[in-house]
Amino acid sequence: MHVEKNYIKDDLGRTLMLRGCNLGGSSKLPFAPNGASWDKDSLQNPKTVSFTGRPFPLEEAESHFKRLAGWGFTFLRFNITWEALEHEGPGIYDEEYLAYLRKVLNIAYEQGISVFIDPHQDVWSRWTGGDGAPAWTMEKLGINIDALDDTGAAFTHQRHTDSYPAMIWPSNYSKYGAAAMFTLFFGGNIYAPETFVDGMPVQDWLQGCYIDAMRHCYRRLKNCKAIAGWGTMNEPHPGYIGCQNLANLEEYVVASGPMPSPFEAMAAASGFSVKVPIYSMISLSGPKIKGYTTINPEKHTIFRDGYECPFKKAGVWTDEGGVPKLLKPDHFSKLNGKPIRFVDDFLNPFMRRFIDRMKAADEKCVFFIEGVPNDDNPRWDAEDKTPVVNAFHWYDGVTLYTKFFTPHFSIQSDTAKISLGKKHVLKSFSGQLKSMIDWTKNNMGNMPCLLGEFGLPFDLNKKKAFKTGDYRKHEEALSMYYDAVDENLLHSTIWNYTADNSHEHGDHWNDEDLSIYHNGEGRAKAGWLRPYPMATAGTPIQFSWNRKKRIFTYQFQADPAIPHETEIYMPAEYIGVSPQIMIKDSEGKSIDSVQADYQAEKQRLFLHCGEYSGTVVLTVAGNSRISA
């Protein structure tokens, strides 16, 4: 697999369409002891956990990969975490887990599956309400991880299991634990220059440990033929970088529950009680304050003796006289006296550092980069020859957060624009994806795009489908998402496939339940199991799937210089044994020189174009007739 301009191609020169899923949702959590976030004790003993067994036990790997390959999901975003690699301490890598990964990935390759490794995180770590970084990244800064929730520096599922609001976890990006760590990771040298760890500036130390861990992992897995590429970091976040006024709540991912301003969060984390607003997340006019509460009423501090808030040390605020006072409200708003664009000024340099270090392990690696979700993407030099893919994310936000879906109504996450009517909703979905592709074309050197995450909560409508077995609503939603993906000729990996998904606990992380797999079967398959062109001897133009009529159409420009077949995935479940196949040119005339070879047992349609160099218009009907 390699990158040519804005295409991804195989070694035969064919244009690839990468399609698969994220594997898997519970890979965010330790396997032993079970790290499920609904378990109130799952944050204990962070040094002794093991992720060996994620995404599934080794003895189950072949059956899972066979199932995925049978679904045409031959390209996976393979999720690992920094914690999984290095939970015991800096430079102490879990070699048992790495050996397990090698075995799992070798089985994937045997089943015809390739992957890119995704270093996954959400809101920094499990102790700050998500997953990703080891506990010691905070402990080395003098943070008592057991005090984070007590002080309002995090809102964890483990602590609030019985009263954990749906989709509140992203609010942790605005809370001190995650926000401080991201600020130090990306901008510690600028905004907390007095903070050192083991004799190193905190930013250099954090980034160095992270990159060293991923590079060590890659070196251990270097010869695994399944690995086609590496991600740099899932959903990076600026923390406080770019904040104009620390006294105000700015640039939140979601406003839900208690929401302190950055200054209030700093004060509370350092032992002060702070009265803050409580937000109600969903309303047509945006988040609303529904009351107030006091965070850290017991006046605990997250800092051990001898340590203090790095931003207090940097002179951002003080508590002289026993009362917190903000001294530099715009401390994070500028870089060298100029306004900040986080993705260019901080994220881009990190990505390049990561890529340079990883390329030392393998020059041919393809890298999958991400900007800040629902926000900015980094600009990229068009002259840079490093094989890079913009692996942006997109979700139907109103459905994701409310866990209700109607095809006739949607709100665009970044602009709050309302769409009414199914055609307008679908147009909005497709348009949002197109805007990301257009940005990439104009500002990122026209590199290829992959939709790294999108998906649907399966616990829609208060888990009604779990009782009735009726997944038609889910099928409709997923089909609309995939229609938008197909219309934009996008590579994609849906979130997610969780091998141990359950109706009671979903994907076992923060009450999310987005797994397309459950208890041995695919869920709502009619929404996502569909034909697509896997490898084209030429240039794709457009394709679509009518799931109700079961008609697939594909138009591409054949290239006679590529003497290999075009390969199309055809799910037998919907195409059948003897589909009707029609091949015409752009003027509607049959092309006798293009031969079709449908192999039902392989769920593949092979087209042999020979010397033909024009446009091919393919139509395949499963259970419906097509007119000659």
- Of the chain, the percentage scoring pLDDT greater than 90 comes to 92
Dump pLDDT digits (tens) for 244-284: 999 999 888 888 999 999 999 999 999 999 999 999 876 55
Helix-helix angle 95-110:61-70, to 10 degrees = 40
Question: pLDDT band at residue 285, thresholds of 50, 70 and 90?
Answer: low
Q: How far apart are CA 275 and CA 260, in angstroms?
A: 8
* pLDDT(228) > 80: yes
Q: What is the CATH number of domain 2-11+20-241+336-528?
A: 3.20.20.80
pLDDT at residue 284, as a whole number: 54
Question: pLDDT band at residue 414, thresholds of 50, 70 and 90?
Answer: confident
**Average of pLDDT values for 458-466?**
96
Dump pLDDT digits (tens) for 99-152: 999 999 999 999 999 999 999 999 999 999 999 999 999 999 999 999 999 999
Q: What is the CA radius of gyration of the chain?
A: 25
Q: How far apart are CA 553 and CA 532, in angstroms?
A: 9
Question: pLDDT band at residue 628, thresholds of 50, 70 and 90?
Answer: very low
pLDDT at residue 286, as a whole number: 67
Yes or no: say if 243 and 176 are a contact pair by the CB < 8 Å rule.
no
Q: Which of 36-50, 187-201, 350-364 has the lowest mean pLDDT?
A: 350-364
Dump pLDDT digits (tens) for 593-615: 999 999 999 999 999 999 999 99
* pLDDT(625) > 80: no
> pTM for the whole thing?
0.96
Dump pLDDT digits (tens) for 44-78: 999 999 999 999 999 999 999 999 999 999 999 99
Cis peptide before 24 (omega within 30 of 0): yes
**Average of pLDDT values for 527-546?**
98
Nearest in space to 332 (alpha carbons), one of 247, 203, 205, 245:
245
Question: pLDDT band at residue 413, thresholds of 50, 70 and 90?
Answer: confident
pLDDT at residue 282, as a whole number: 61
- Of the chain, the percentage scoring pLDDT greater than 70 comes to 98
Q: How far is CA 514 from the centre of its chain?
A: 12
* pLDDT(287) > 80: no
* pLDDT(626) > 90: no
Question: pLDDT band at residue 627, thresholds of 50, 70 and 90?
Answer: very low
Q: Which of 79-93, 260-274, 324-338, 355-369 has the lowest mean pLDDT?
A: 355-369
Q: How far apart are CA 585 and CA 589, in angstroms?
A: 5
* pLDDT(350) > 60: yes
Read out DSSP for 582-626? EEE-TTS-B-TTSEEEEEGGGTEEEEE-TT--SEEEEEEESSS--
**Average of pLDDT values for 210-235?**
96
- Superfamily for the 532-621 domain: Golgi alpha-mannosidase II (2.60.40.1180)
Q: How far apart are CA 354 and CA 231, in angstroms?
A: 10
Domains of the chain, residue spans: 2-11+20-241+336-528, 532-621
Yes or no: say if 131 and 121 are a contact pair by the CB < 8 Å rule.
yes
Yes or no: say if 523 and 484 are a contact pair by the CB < 8 Å rule.
no
**Average of pLDDT values for 526-552?**
97
φ/ψ region of 286 (left if φ > 0, alpha if ψ in -120 to 50, else beta) reads: left
Q: What is the mean pLDDT of the chain?
A: 95
Cis peptide before 496 (omega within 30 of 0): yes
Tell me which residues are annotated as active site: 235, 453
Helix-helix angle 176-191:262-269, to 10 degrees = 100
